[in-house]
Amino acid sequence: MYSRVTNDIQITVMPEFVSERSDAEEATFFWAYTVEIANCGAHTVQLTSRHWKITDANGRLEEVRGPGVVGEQPVLKPGERFRYTSGCPLTTPSGIMMGTYRMVTEKGDIFDAEIPAFSLDSPYVARVLN
């Protein structure tokens, strides 16, 4: 589990390798990740867009931008949470994701809530201890 707080917005990510949608011989590796966004502040906010940076094991960077998440632009009142699950395919057995959610307060202030960097590790990668 990976977690980060920006301007009272806590973002927690739980990635999971999906073996049934992966095939090492075909260089297809798939992860599901569940994101929970919690408004720990005193003001209502709305998530309006996302910006993901996905880097595979070869260092190839892909950026994904778009409105909302999973077709929604959730509004979070103080104390509320929003949870969703999405997925990420790679052609390498590991990678890393990070990004931001564009948030707008009820007063119209705009800020980017940071999504913590999280690793995409599959059973096809040897673990290295430093």
Structure tokens at 95: 């990678």
User: What local confidence, expressed as pLDDT, does residue 124 receive?
Assistant: 85
Element (H, E) at 39: strand 29-39
Q: What is the mean pLDDT of the chain?
A: 96
Please check whether residue 76 is in contact with residue 84, taking contact to mean a CB–CB distance below 8 angstroms.
no
Query: The dihedral of CA 19, 4, 83, 117: what is its sign?
Result: negative
Rounded CA-CA distance 107/116 in Å is 26
Strands (E), 41-121: 45-56, 61-67, 75-76, 81-90, 94-105, 110-121
pLDDT digits (tens, 9 = 90+) for 84-119: 999 999 999 999 999 999 999 999 999 999 999 999
* Model confidence band, residue 130 (pLDDT cutoffs 50, 70, 90): low
pLDDT digits (tens, 9 = 90+) for 8-67: 999 999 999 999 999 999 999 999 999 999 999 999 999 999 999 999 999 999 999 999
The residue among 20, 40, 41 whose CA lies nearest residue 29 is 20
> Structural domains in the chain?
2-121 (2.60.40.1470)
Query: Has residue 128 got a pLDDT over 70?
Result: no
